[in-house]
Amino acid sequence: MASRRLSTLLSRSLSFPSASAFLGWKYGVERGIQRFSTAAAVEELVSPGVEVKYTQHIINGKFVDSASGKTFPTLDPRTEEVITHVAEGEAEDINRAVAAARKAFDEGPWPKMSAYERSRIMLKFADLVEKHTDELATLETWDNGKPYEQAAKSELPMIVRLFHYYAGWADKIHGLTVPADGPHHVQTLHEPIGVAGQIIPWNFPLAMFAWKVGPALATGNTVVLKTAEQTPLTALYAGKLFHEAGLPPGVLNIVSGYGPTAGAALASHMEVDKLAFTGSTDTGKIVLELAAKSNLKPVTLELGGKSPFIICDDANIDRAVEDAHFALFFNQGQCCCAGSRTYVHERIYDEFVEKAKARAMRRVVGDPFKKGVEQGPQIDSEQFEKVLRYIRSGKESGATLECGGDRIGSKGYFIQPTIFSDVKEDMLIAQDEIFGPVQCVLKFKDIDEVIKRANNTHYGLAAGVYTSDIDKANTLARGLRAGTVWINCYDVFDATIPFGGYKMSGIGREKGVYSLNNYLQVKAVVTPLKNPAWI
Ligand code: NAI
Ligand code: MG
């Protein structure tokens, strides 16, 4: 069945199947035992029903093969089978893309075009993304495994919104007139920095495309984007739409390929003026070093996390259970800001664990194309094995396994929603970024203690706080060393809200007004004033 899927799919036009056409795994709870009706489900997965149209790099406004002619496969994480083969970029392809971006910046119309014109192209692109939501969301689900409903109803609209937001900024970026001491007229010009190199991960392929490309283009830069090797498809589609919207050639170049080859070539390129990276802390260190050793290009980094989610004894417990569940399990647990240390006050701890367990056991895991499915497969075998290793480590270290703890089925990267209680800080599962559907519950007594424990990590990306006491909320919000603190909510994202990490979770902020500065140079222009009386 699965092998027939690819050929039928290539000849089918987009006809999104009805929800009932999909089979998935529904979590059943009987006498406290999890039951997964996995049986023949993998055999009966339904084709996504779209054609993969774009598999080559986009360089200088054209789809091109790799210099080497090489390709690599991208897989469907539901089946572990090949969706299609994609051009595999290496150093020479990065050289070509950077040369195109350099020429487009130095000689092309984009940086010199009126900001209003630039914003109109970005708005047109946003309209096209909206129009093609189904295809983009379908490709995203197919390549990544995330629920289609999440991609189509939440992520795609946010991407459209983000391009509207940054298109709106294009003609509102300007310098200052500076009151210098002396007979000089002094002004600052806010200029684009040049060629931006951008390396993105696989967990939110299109959203990361948007966070990176939106502010870079609004400020008049040109871009070379390297997608993650696991999820190359949607950025190529979006790149095609951007050119349809009127983007001049060379402004947005997209190269597919692996990190140590294509990614490293981009990070170390002498003609790249700025680097933006999202991914693991380890790789963040590598690209920072490559940037420093080449041309000292400034680098912004969005890295890993081990974010605390703190639930006080005065919290609305049912809402806290639901949001803590969402904070961890959203996107198969593959979020840099996942609320992956759930701290619960001792007075409500037992009740919380019971309710969190019941919620996790109700989580619907299955074919991400099926309506109502909350959790699809992990991205690839590497991540799948990594998560299972952490689950084994949790079991061995003496944490209590409340539910889950195993894979689902024998094909595809599906993992049971898993909860460990009685987790202690010195356990590996409380320290490392697991990046999977594994919730770790810890107990605390008072606010000062939990602030110290929550901050006792090299990470500092985000935090959640649940309380009905405004003073506790304020104390926690100020005491927690994290780039975002969500109070009585979690994972609330908007184009306007800056995002980024303290400590080893990153350098700099993306989104909102803050991201613009990542892509701007400030030039001071000084002119003598003939008549000092005019000062
Ligand atoms: P990674 O950090 O290695 O990959 C992210 C991006 O960096 C990809 O485009 C990759 O091709 C590129 N890359 C890898 N090595 C590179 C190099 N030497 N030079 C330049 N670019 C390079 O992350 P990976 O291996 O996919 O996942 C490992 C772990 O990282 C995950 O288990 C998770 O803990 C974390 N992670 C965090 C993300 C976040 O949103 N902050 C996203 C993805 C992964
Ligand atoms: Mg890696």
74-104: pLDDT as tens digits: 999 999 999 999 999 999 999 999 999 999 9
Q: Any idea which residue has 């400590």 for tokens?
A: 503
Show the CA angle centred on residue 410, arms to residues 408 and 411, nearest 5°: 100
Q: Among 280, 299, 340, name the best residue to mutate to test ligand 1's pocket (greatest count of ligand atoms within 8 A of Cβ).
A: 280
Q: pLDDT per residue over 237-269, tens digit each?
A: 999 999 999 999 999 999 999 999 999 999 999
- The CATH superfamily holding the domain 57-174+189-303 is Aldehyde Dehydrogenase; Chain A, domain 1 (3.40.605.10)
pLDDT for the residue numbered 45: 87
Q: Which amino acid is at 257?
A: G
Enumerate residues 6+ apart whose C-beta is below 8 A from 35: 27, 28, 29
Q: Residue 133, Cα to own-chain centre: how many angstroms? A: 18
Q: What percent of the chain has pLDDT over 70?
A: 91
If you take atom 14 of ligand 1, which residue's CA is the nearest one?
Answer: 259
CA of 283 to the centre of ligand 2 (A): 7
Closest CA to 166 of 104, 200, 130, 212: 212
Annotate 446-464 with DSSP letters as a single string: -HHHHHHHHH-SS--SEEE
* Host H or E run for residue 514: helix 514-518
pLDDT for the residue numbered 44: 74
- Outline which parts of the chain fall under CATH 3.40.309.10: 308-487
pTM over 0.85: yes
pLDDT for the residue numbered 111: 97
CA of 535 to the centre of ligand 1 (A): 53
CA of 432 to the centre of ligand 2 (A): 15
Closest CA to 382 of 431, 331, 326, 334: 334
On average, the pLDDT of the chain sits at: 92
Contact by Cβ (8 Å): 476, 310: yes
- Outline which parts of the chain fall under CATH 3.40.605.10: 57-174+189-303
CB atoms within 10 A of CB 344: 29
Q: Which ligand ends up closest to the CA of 435?
A: 1
Buried b or exposed e, range 434-445, using 16+ CB within 10 angstroms: bbbbbbbbbbbe
Kindly list the catalytic residues.
Answer: 302, 336
pLDDT for the residue numbered 8: 32
Q: pLDDT per residue over 366-385, tens digit each?
A: 999 999 999 999 999 999 99
Enumerate residues 6+ apart whose C-beta is below 8 A from 313: 345, 346, 347, 348
The CATH topology of domain 308-487 is Aldehyde Dehydrogenase; Chain A, domain 2 (3.40.309)
Q: Is the dihedral of CA 483, 489, 490, 494 positive or negative?
A: negative
What number does the ligand 1 atom closest to the CA of 305 have? 41
Q: Which residues of the chain have pLDDT under 70?
A: 1-43, 532-535
Q: Which ligand ends up closest to the CA of 259?
A: 1
* Cα(157)–Cα(320) distance, integer angstroms: 26
pLDDT for the residue numbered 15: 31
